[in-house]
Amino acid sequence: MSTQPLSRIVIIGTVLAIAGAAIIVTAGIGSRLAWWPFGTGFALLRSGTIAALAALPVLCWGAYATRPGNRRRGFGLALLTMIPAFVAAAVPLGALYTARTVPPIHDISTDLDNPPAFTAVLPLRGDGSNPVPARVTGTAAQQRDAYPDIRPVLFSGSPEDTFDHALAVARSMGWEIVSADDSAGRIEATDTTFWFGFKDDIVIRLTAQVDGTRVDVRSTSRVGRSDVGANAKRIRAYLARLTDSKPG
């Protein structure tokens, strides 16, 4: 008995799945390596997502057409290729869902009335970056509603005693430390996102209180209207690690 060729439907679905996944991965890598602007990267991301989504019904059709007992080949390949197609589509769609469930803001601070100020980071942000206002008044209500847990933390001891610990935790987050001024009680850093290479800036402020040291954190994105919740997540992670690893 001669071996039947692969089903054309399965071949089309496989090509769509592989092409979609490759475009999605390349969209982020190219943006991170500055091969093209972020706008081009997002356009590629949309195209790759569409291709991956289109592959799924085609592969389902192909799996049905080549199911066991049918003479046409490709059942196993169709099932196998559904996995990268689903993953490739799920990642950007998951980010899109998150973007629609969080407010379209990109500047988050534990102190909304008097947020920590950037100094050393400002020259690195460039002319096309989002502004960093002295107060976060325009988005304060949105932040309070969406992230009520983003608040300062209080440590016993002086700012001088807390500074080294705060700096060590910032380094452990994988951030690039731009400035560490113990006399001013201020640490500035930059975090680069994994996929697209977006740069978000962080400033940590230590302030003496009657009963210890107050630690405030501000995290803001250089580009984009919405941060898809990344800055709040970053502040939460830092403060949790700072508190959990508190000396003594």
> Domain-by-domain residue ranges, the chain?
8-101, 107-244
What pTM did the predictor assign? 0.84
- Rounded-to-integer distance, Cα 150 and Cα 144, Å: 8
Q: Quick one: pLDDT band at residue 248, thresholds 50, 70, 90? A: low
8 A C-beta contact, residue 111 and residue 152: yes
Residue that the structure tokens 């630690």 belong to: 215
Q: Which CATH number fits domain 107-244: 3.40.710.10, 1.10.20.10, 3.40.50.10680, 3.30.530.50?
A: 3.30.530.50
- Rounded-to-integer distance, Cα 241 and Cα 191, Å: 16
Q: Which residues pair with 191 in a beta bridge?
A: 200
Neighbours of 93 (CB within 10 A): 13
Percent of the chain with pLDDT over 70: 98
Neighbours of 56 (CB within 10 A): 19
* Angle at alpha carbon of residue 91, lines to 88 and 92, rounded to 5°: 100
Give the pLDDT confidence of 129-167 residue by residue, as tens digits.
Answer: 898 887 777 789 999 999 999 999 999 989 998 999 999
Q: Quick one: pLDDT band at residue 1, thresholds 50, 70, 90? A: very low
Average pLDDT over residues 30-58: 94
| Type of residue at 200 | D
Across the chain, how many H-helices and E-strands are there? 7, 6
At a CB cut-off of 8 Å and minimum separation 6, what does 149 contact? Answer: 236
Q: Quick one: pLDDT band at residue 245, thresholds 50, 70, 90? A: confident
Q: Which two tokens stand for residue 132?
A: 């960093």
